Structure 1
Amino acid sequence: MALTRLTLRDFRNHAATRLDATATFNVLTGENGAGKTNVLEAISLLAPGRGLRRAQVAEMAAAHGQGGFAIAAELEGGALALSTATTPDSPNRRSVRINGAEGPTNRLAEWLAMTWLTPAMDRLFAEGAGARRRFLDRLVLAEQPGHARLATRYETALRERNRLLADPAEPDPVWLDALERQLAEAGAAMALARRTLVQRLDTAIAAEPEGPFARPLLAYAGDTPDRADALAALLREGRRRDRAAGRTLTGPHRDDLAVTMAAKNASAAQCSTGEQKAMLISIVLAHAGLGDTDRPRLLLLDEIAAHLDPLRRAALYDRLAASGAQVWMTGTEPAPFVDLPAPAAFWQVVDGRVERG
């Protein structure tokens, strides 16, 4: 079991919410705007990053509160406590505590393997590459907790290199060398981790029997080398070009996840919204089935059952039950969830209040 207790204080429209006695499947139902997705967002903040909405931290504190919010969770029946909070004095700074000791946000990845799907992701394959990179990095992070630290190191060095490149004065080549070594070490490791996971997922999906969800073919679309020395050489060779552009044009921040629908041999971007959603579900299910992490695995699925027919819902629930993950789902009514194949806990959400169903 992953989360066994969750409490929210002054988070979004939840003044004081507590969920106990969680199960393998946890279903939150209620009208639109009741606060169901807010609970999933709160859980997503128990992982590194900006959460499933990618909102600014200061936006999350309840308007009716005194400023600041708190989210706390117990895992494995109280064996581990995780929390994150802001204060009125520091509304843009999110602190993290693990068993009461303050630590960096990236350390949250060491305790939970978390992924999610939201309706906003339905057009993931038709929009810019940035969203697909974030999606892929989230999948990698669920397998490799150190990926968050690599990404932070890379982004910090990338910002500094771009600042130097955009400066009218000629950059110090010694300082550029040092920055590029940092970029290359973190960037090559990121590219290798992404490429390896994409290959594993593609192999896992290909091995699955034909099912009700569209089968995607996956590839890592990018030229970033997997070796730090090779990437450092490319960065050095590209200085003049990058200086003219005012930004770095080589590295994992330029790579992409390429998805093709197998049955049509068509790029995911050319497929219907329904086909794109089906392929996205296939990827997330394949990832959940990898099962090679020793951390509790959480899946947050916002409104995932709303547009699935009974056959696809049954297939989805069977695959989720077999994954070993703790699953949190939302919907406007309980009916689509009555056939869950594993122990389930139901909650009704009304205006930021949660009652056991």
Structure 2
Amino acid sequence: MVLDRISLGDFRNHALTELSGAGAFNLLVGANGAGKTNILEALSLLAPGRGLRRATLNEMAREGASGGFAVGASLLAHDEPVRLGTWTQAEATMRRRVRINSAETGAVALAEWLAIGWLTPAMDGLFAGPAQDRRRYLDRLTLARDPHHGGHASQYEKALRERNRLLSDRREPDGRWLDAIEAQMAEHGAGLAEGRSRTVDALMAQIVAQDEAPFPRPALTYAPGGPVGHEQLEQALHDARARDRAAQRTLSGPHRDDLKVSYAAKRMAAAQCSTGEQKALLLAMTLAHAALAAEGRPSVLLLDEVAAHLDPDRRAALFERLRATGTQVWMTGTELAPFAAIEAEAAVWNVTSGAARRL
């Protein structure tokens, strides 16, 4: 068990929902629109970032309520329970706040306590979508293994925005100011590249170690968008100033990285595979990462409407692999039938109209 005593206040369609007695497998069952995925989204906010829907804070607050929301859970993987919480208040400029036990802190601190991953239907287009989506996905996988990765990402993006602002100014930018900004970009960009590369290598090693059947084996390649070393990146940014000023933006660097995925047995890019094959490849990657994430810290995996779309053999393999990872799993479905093999060992809630009742 990892998370328990979960509470949602004024979150989406949940006025006040509490879930206690969680287990290794946790099932949220109910009709479409009942609020199952909302519970998963609330849990995803116990990690840095914008959650599994990447929604705005205003969108998460329950309509007709005060304008703020609160999500809390007890982390039970230590000698003493650790209370994790995040909330917002109705303010002119809404911001997400985080508390660990009684101390308010930044959201990045959540990653030091807990690794959270997820797979949702909205991710079905990951391979054929823009590279930005795959970079964000890769960063989330990396953050689940390295809590410091989020700091590199935020600092690099901040410096990138400032460099682009200077490059788009009609006046000639101060070279010394650019030197300082590019030094920051090189430091944190090198950290980003190193973290992404390590994650891809570790993920591939885990994928190769797993039995391929019944899921297709993906082949992953980290594709840098420019030099990856600290000194090389800093020099490249300096040398590209004239080119980037003409374009009014930075044309190379970690913000142009990509994650290349292919179906290994067919030697075919994942984007060219069938919809079913793409889903299976993504599930294989998710299972491999869940095993990695569980090695270092308590981990949680959120699976939204996954089991119902699998044939019986793949469904059985899914449950077997999830059981072996040691991660806590939360799954949604419209009915219990697809979960018959694990129903006896799972904690089950029926979700209706923003309320959850333990079965």
TM-score (norm 1): 0.97
**SS of match in other structure, 2:172:** coil
Match of 1:214 in 2: 216
Per the alignment, residue 153 of structure 2 pairs with 151
Per the TM alignment, residue 208 of structure 1 is displaced from its structure 2 partner at its CA by 2.3
Q: Does the CA-based 8 Å contact 1:74-1:82 persist in structure 2? A: yes
Alignment of 1:116-265 (within 5 A): 116-265=118-267
Correspondence for 2:94 among 92, 95, 102: 92
- The Cα shift of 1:91 comes to 6.0
- 1:196 is displaced (CA, Å) by 1.3
Q: Which amino acid aligns with 1:279?
A: L
Inter-partner Cα distance in structure 2 for 1:237 and 1:258:
28
8 Å CA contact 2:167, 2:248 repeated in 1? yes
Q: CA deviation at 1:68?
A: 0.4
Query: CA offset at residue 341 of structure 1?
Result: 8.3
Q: Which residue of 2 aligns with 1:83?
A: 85
Who is 1:41 aligned against? Answer: 41
CA distance in 1, matches of 2:174, 2:20: 57
Q: Distance in 1 between matches of 2:197 and 2:101?
A: 34
d(CA) in 1 for partners of 2:318, 2:92 = 42
CA deviations 1:233-281 (Å, max 9, x no partner) are 1111111111111111111110100001012111011001111110001
Residue identity in the other structure for 1:64: G
* Equivalent in the alignment of 2:105: 103
**Cross-structure match for 1:333:** 335
Gaps of 5+ in 1: none
Q: Is the 8 A contact 1:27 1:330 kept in 2?
A: yes
Report the counterpart of residue 17 of structure 1 in structure 2: 17
Q: CA deviation at 1:205?
A: 1.3
Q: Provide the C-alpha distance between the structure 1 equivalents of 2:87 and 2:343, rounded to a whole number of angstroms.
A: 35
1:340 and 1:244 mapped to 2: Cα distance?
59
User: Residues 159-194 of structure 1, C-alpha deviation per residue, up to 9 Å, x if partnerless?
Assistant: 101100111111111000000000000001110110
Q: 1:317 to 1:236 in 2, by over 3 A?
A: same
Give the percent of matched residue pairs that are identical in Structure 1 and Structure 2. Answer: 58
Equivalent position SS for 2:324 = helix
Q: Deviation digits for residues 127-169 of structure 1, max 9, x if unmatched?
A: 1011111111111000000011111111111110110011111
Deviation of 1:5 (Å)? 1.4
Whether 1:345 aligns to 2:347 is yes
Contact 1:67–1:91 under 8 Å retained in 2: no
Return the alpha-carbon distance in structure 1 between the equivalents of residues 330 and 171 of structure 2: 53
How far off its partner does 1:200 sit?
1.7
Q: Report the Cα offset of residue 59 of structure 1.
A: 1.0
Shift of 1:291: 5.1
Match of 1:62 in 2: 62
Rounded to whole Å, the distance in 2 between the matches of 1:91 and 1:296 is 33
- Secondary structure class of the residue paired with 1:7: strand
- Following TM superposition, by how much is the alpha carbon of 1:222 offset from its aligned partner in structure 2, in angstroms? 1.6
CA contact (8 A) 1:129 1:257 kept: yes
Q: Secondary structure at the match of 1:233?
A: helix
Kept in 2: contact 1:73–1:82 (CA 8 A): yes
Alpha-carbon deviations, 1:109-129, whole Å to 9, x = none?
A: 111111100000011001101
Contact 2:98 2:104 in 1 (8 A): yes
Work out the CA distance in 2 between the residues paired with 1:153 and 1:27.
38
Aligned-partner SS, 1:178: helix
Q: Relative to structure 1, is the Cα distance of residues 356 and 133 closer, same or farther in structure 2, using a 3 angstrom cutoff?
A: same
Give the 3-state SS of the residue equivalent to 1:213 in structure 2. coil
C-alpha RMSD of the superposition: 1.4
Structure 2 stretches lacking a partner, 5+ long: none
Q: Does 1:272 align with 2:265?
A: no
- Whether the 8 Å CA contact 2:189–2:254 is kept in 1: the answer is yes
In structure 2, what is the Cα distance between the partners aligned to 1:341 and 1:232?
55
SS for the counterpart of 2:307 is coil
Q: TM-score, normalised by structure 2?
A: 0.97
**Number of positions where the alignment pairs a residue of Structure 1 with one of Structure 2:** 357
> 1:15 is aligned with what amino acid?
A
